[in-house]
Amino acid sequence: MPLARNPVKLLKFVFCFHNKAFCLRSPKSRTRGVWLEVRGNSRCRGTTIPATTAAILCVCVCDGRYTRIPLTHPPGRRPPSLERRLFASGGAGRRRGSGPRPVLAMSLYRNSVWFVKGLRHYCRSGYESASKHFVPEDLEVDVTGRHFMVTGGNSGIGKAAAKEIARRGGLVHLVCRNKDRAEEAKKDITTETDNQNVFIHILDMSDPKGIWEFTERFKNEHRLNVLVNNAGCMVNQRELTKDGLEKNFATNTLGTYILTTALLPLLEREDDPRVTTLSAFRGRDMKCSVLFGNPPRDRRTITVSSGGMLVQKLDVSNLQSENVAFDGTMVYAQNKRQQVVMTEQWAKAHPSVHFSSMHPGWADTPAVRSSMPDFYEKMKNRLRTEDQGADTVVWLAVSREAGKQASGQFFQDRQPVPTHLPLAQTKSSPGDEAKLMQFLEELSQKFKPR
């Protein structure tokens, strides 16, 4: 009996890894794949389906709402892929008593394919597999004399990145919201690395006026080679700041925008600035430029984004999440999509600075444990360590190879990766991207001290 006719039986299916392929397996028959109802072909009562489709079926069918997967196609024509049929039918089959639901189908497709991708590439096993191809010499550098700013540096990936930069001699500015936790992080970093050049700045990244004031003071007192935009938040209930801004947007998007644009003049004054992780070649490193040619462009801005942005298309009509039911996880993913778009636009506008965004993978951090407790409980044995999550941040900051990469790209495990899933329809128009940058510029100016 085709399992698509029996949602209750499908509930008994479980995900499992088999020969590195993700599929649904029947506990009774132990047959790889899933049985589907195939109309118009009496010779084929079942088929093995791709991993991505298996994930879609698990999400769509196992909730009990969908009971049929129509796979009919006109005679004489090559049948389209199951994914395309899912979209054409408005979902994984039709919901009984309702019409097509293309938006639901696309959302299910994006989230399902993303989750399968995450299980293969974002977990600890994904890092261990990718790290086999790392070049150890990339991180064997001395960055003494270079100045790095790491936001959200008191814990998690920010702290891990700051520690590795300090270990290599960098002067590190930790930008944190909580003074006590910042002091504790500084103590840990200086003790472990024996580098006393770690400085604390207290700043709330959801306060646009405070960010402007901070950057003006910083520019008058310090140098900067590398800016690491790591600070972020995921608030699961819609919350407004004192300025009337939705808190996730204020912290993740507007705060990142103001900090970066305000510090760009300082970065551009340096010989080799990078935003988020790299610094200038000085001292001994300049000798390398004589031996091996001129150093690659090293003005860099790196923004710690998230692979979650892959499920979101830029939505400039609802930047502060006012028009739909609030979902903190999806709002966060939308913010991360906005960060990737900002990175791409900055790269075009400021060719003297190397911009990049990156995905740290699914890492075991305090932010994940507090903001996504259910996800953490289910995945805690598969999550990356903080150091593994921070590895690409450090690589983007200090390695010469990173400076040779094209500006504006999105990185994962030291490699540029696509910013869109296949067939996910998440690409935005140039007009929408320009609208985002214009909106952020106009909004940021309202909080700039006169």
**Residue 328 confidence (pLDDT) above 90:** yes
- The overall average pLDDT reported for the chain is 78
Task: Over range 424-446, report the average pLDDT.
Answer: 97
Task: Over range 271-296, report the average pLDDT.
Answer: 36
**Residue 32 confidence (pLDDT) above 60:** no
- For residue 120, what are the CA distances in angstroms to 223, 350, 383? 41, 35, 12
pLDDT band at 290 (very low <50, low <70, confident <90, very high): very low
Q: Residue 391's pLDDT is what?
A: 98
Q: What is the dihedral of CA 348, 354, 357, 359, to 10 degrees?
A: 150
DSSP string, 221-286: H---SEEEE------SS--B-TTS-BHHIIIIIIHHHHHHHHHHHHHHHSSS-EESS-----THHH
**Residue 68 confidence (pLDDT) above 60:** no
Q: Alpha-carbon distance 10 to 33, whole Å?
A: 12
Question: What are the tens digits of pLDDT across the range 126-176?
Answer: 999 999 999 999 999 999 999 999 999 999 999 999 999 999 999 999 999
Element (H, E) at 16: strand 14-18
Regarding predicted confidence, which is higher, 349 or 10? 349
Q: Residue 114's pLDDT is what?
A: 94
Q: What percent of the chain has pLDDT over 70?
A: 71
**Residue 180 confidence (pLDDT) above 50:** yes
**Residue 355 confidence (pLDDT) above 70:** yes
Helix axis angle, 156-167 to 179-193, nearest 10°: 30
For the ranges 35-44, 243-252, 415-424, which has the lowest average pLDDT? 35-44
Element (H, E) at 399: none
Q: Is residue 305 within 8 Å of 315, Cβ to Cβ?
A: no
Task: Over range 111-135, report the average pLDDT.
Answer: 95
**Residue 305 confidence (pLDDT) above 90:** yes
Sign of torsion, CA 438 444 445 446?
positive
pLDDT band at 103 (very low <50, low <70, confident <90, very high): low
pLDDT band at 107 (very low <50, low <70, confident <90, very high): confident
376 among known catalytic residues: no
- Strand 300-304 and strand 409-412: the pairing is unpaired
The structure's pTM equals 0.76
Task: Give start and end residues of each alpha helix (H) in 122-254.
Answer: 124-131, 156-167, 179-193, 208-221, 247-248
Q: Alpha-carbon distance 197 to 325, whole Å?
A: 46
Domains and CATH numbers, the chain: 3-121 (no CATH), 135-446 (3.40.50.720)
Paired tokens of 174: 């930790």
For the beta carbon of residue 3, count every other beta carbon within 10 angstroms: 22
Of the residues 66, 109, 122, 332, only one is catalytic, namely 332
Q: Alpha-carbon distance 69 to 30, whole Å?
A: 22
Question: What are the tens digits of pLDDT across the range 221-275?
Answer: 999 999 999 999 999 999 999 999 999 999 999 999 999 999 999 999 876 545 4
Paired tokens of 449: 């001290």
Paired tokens of 187: 């103590």
Q: Residue 283's pLDDT is what?
A: 35
Q: Alpha-carbon distance 151 to 176, whole Å?
A: 6
**Residue 292 confidence (pLDDT) above 60:** no
**Residue 60 confidence (pLDDT) above 80:** no
17-31, 47-61, 263-277, 431-445, range with greatest mean pLDDT:
431-445
Task: Over range 63-87, report the average pLDDT.
Answer: 39
- Strand 14-18 and strand 171-176: the pairing is unpaired
Q: Is residue 34 within 8 Å of 67, Cβ to Cβ?
A: no
Q: Residue 298's pLDDT is what?
A: 65
